[in-house]
Amino acid sequence: QDGAHKHTYQSDVARLRKIVINSLYSHRDVFLRELISNANDAIEKLRLTSLTEPMVLSGAESMNITLRAFKEEDGTTKLVVRDTGIGMTPDELRANLGTLAKSGTSEFLARAEKTDTTGTGNLIGAFGLGFYSSFLVADKVYVASIAAKTPANPEPVQYVFASSADDSTFEVYPDPRGNTLGRGTEITMVLKEDALEYTDTVKVTELVNKHSSFATQFPIYLFTERTEEVPIEEETPAEKPVKESDEEAEDEAVVEDVTDEVEEKPKQTQTVTVEEWVHLNSQPPIWMRDPKTVTDEEYELFYQSTFKDYEKPLGWAHFSGDSGSGTAFKAILYIPSKLDDSFWQSQQTAADIRLMVKRVFITSDLGEDALPKWASWVKVVVDAEDLPLNVSRELLQNTRFLRQLKSIIVKRLIQTLTKMAERAAQKDDEEDELAWWRVSQVFNNALKLGAVEDGKNKEKIAPLVRLPTNQRKDTSLDEYVENRKKGQKQIFYLADMGKSPEVLAKSVFVEKLNARGYEVLLLGQPLDEIFVQNLRIWKKLPFQDVAKSGLKFGDEDQDPEDEKEQQQELAETYKPLLDWFKKETQGAVRNVVISNRLVTSPCAIVADTYGYTANMEKMLNAQNQ
Ligand code: ADP
Ligand code: MG
């Protein structure tokens, strides 16, 4: 090309392109999602910039994304994705498309090189491949772009970035066609021989619906052609309905369907080609719809594309409300499938709350303390009706609306979790049980934190916590209380941080209570003991550490004091038997005593308090051999 500058890709980019091209064939559908997502970002950027610099809006009327496939005379097939967004200067073309500017992409790369191919496929969902995914379907890609007009750049020039899939270089040159775009970016992909399916409008519509219907609030239009029988009018014959495809006219993305006007008495018909821009994402956004009309799959896909999570959410709540200060809003709250590794490493975690005002995205940065720490993992989209559109973040953080919104979100989250727990407890739906089980696996410790730190809500959070016992894999506090023995006046627990429930269950203290049929909470997790100590009582029953004094039993007169007396009586009664035993077992055992630890077995051989345990002895013997 004239005036073209040849550049060699930064080595990271070359590596990434290689992975993309070689190992992601079966995931190549994602290219469209990535390009639409970039187009959305570019228009979003334009819109935000225009709030302070209206000049950037010149060049094109509308904010939209268009898709169009066509065959060239030379036989190649092209797919064009175009947006009326912020555009790029030639320097930006080089920097943004020729280097790995985005940390997400670098992370993808780092992980991809350690994973096998199938793993890499999953990574796409997590990180996104961005622009480079276009090479999954194209031999050659041209990116024509014109930067938005600003006082610093009042006469932007349209440039092209061009690169082939099998080349380690790219070129940037002034677009020989001149400024055809008006504003924005146009990505032209010369499709590979085996990627011609992407010219099929049915296929493209399907893809957009599946992966991108939630990716943008701006309209996506798809160019379609179909043939139709239309009547021939006597005065105005055939040529009228045919709309020529016109590169220059593409700014007005919606071309009226020309078949609207039907003559009253048609005498003859003829076949014409009807060209039409079809609006693909014409449904209102999911949070604006009646929850009854939204399917589970739609909620899941919306979550996955909004929060860039490859996994499905574990649960959600779709609700509308009023902040109390008069601001009405609609919201969807999601429970993700995992807790970020960083959750336990920091004091505060910024919550993922996407705030919109009247369908327009405002910010997802509501500050570090947007939600209490324990709940900061929840993912939320909120659309408010009447906040000023250009409200700054600092201002926003201090509005009453936001404070109220936070407490509503926490309340809803607790409500959602409680419902899930209740549904699981009915034990009549395996999916409900599995969903709650997974929530509990992931968030149990976070919920303990909530019960400890969120004074206002601890009574509602505590019932969601699950703890292992000597009788069951786990229980809620309410279940424990229901399950208590007649007359039981305390909630028994044994706490020893770091020990597994299995080990704790073998403790002498637990064994004794177990024998009497009492359930004992086995607390081995870091927050467990703080959790019960902070609550102090539950349903009027105080928590009691079974390794400490103060145990009370409700059944009969089994007070530790009474027990001592009883023990002495027994010792006297059975002294002759004990003496006989001691004589017979001399040398083999250290002592013979009357035990209160046993219930069903007549006798047991146990380790001396100061001696080796049976296990230790076995190990030592093995070593000495
Ligand atoms: P990411 O979107 O994660 O930043 P991409 O590889 O998708 O990574 O895009 C790289 C960069 O190229 C973007 O950050 C953006 O600056 C620029 N870019 C890509 N597509 C467009 C576009 N349609 N309009 C304007 N800039 C774009
Ligand atoms: Mg991108």
pLDDT at 62: 93
83 is in an annotated binding site: yes
How many angstroms separate the alpha carbon of residue 432 from the centre of ligand 1?
41
pLDDT of residue 261: 54
Position 251 scores a pLDDT of 47
Map 232-299 to HEC letters.
ECCCCCCCCCCCCCCHHHHHCCCCCCHHHCCCCCCCEEEEEEEEEEEECCCCCCHHHCCHHHCCHHHH
CB distance 295 to 286 below 8 Å: no
**For the segment 316-347, what is each residue's pLDDT rounded down to a tens digit?**
999 998 866 678 899 999 999 999 888 888 87
SS3 375: helix
| pLDDT score for 33 | 87
Nearest CA to ligand 1 atom 20: 38
Residues in the chain, pLDDT under 50: 103-104, 117-118, 125-126, 240-256, 556-557, 600, 607, 609-616, 618-619, 623-625
- Condensed to tens digits (0 to 9), the pLDDT of residues 115-130 reads 654 455 555 544 556 7
| Residue in 64, 96, 189 to alter for ligand 1 test, most ligand atoms within 8 A of Cβ | 96
Nearest Cα to Cα of residue 221 among 175, 263, 253: 253
Residue list, ligand 1 pocket, CB within 6 Å: 34, 38-39, 41-42, 83, 85-86, 88, 96-97, 102, 104-105, 128, 130-131, 185
Strand partners, 327: none
476 assigned binding-site residue: no
> Ligand 2 centre from 244 Cα, in Å?
33
The answer to whether 104 and 58 have CB atoms below 8 angstroms apart is: no
CB 419 within 8 A of CB 463: no
Quote the pLDDT of residue 609.
Answer: 42
**103 carries a ligand binding annotation:** yes
Walk across the sheet containing 360-363 and list its strands.
315-322, 328-335, 379-384, 352-357, 360-363
pLDDT reported for residue 360: 74
Q: What are phi and psi of 160, to 5 degrees?
A: -120, 135
Is 419 annotated as belonging to a binding site?
no
The response to whether 517 counts as a known ligand-binding position is no
Q: What is the pLDDT of residue 149?
A: 96
What is the structure's pLDDT at 452?
94
Does residue 438 contact residue 314 with C-beta atoms inside 8 Å? yes
User: Which of 41, 127, 188 is the pocket-test mutation for ligand 1 (most atoms within 8 Å of CB)?
Assistant: 41
Q: Cα(40) to centroid of ligand 1, in Å? A: 10
Distance 96 CA to ligand 1 centre (A): 6
CA of 35 to the centre of ligand 2 (A): 7
Q: What pTM did the predictor assign?
A: 0.66
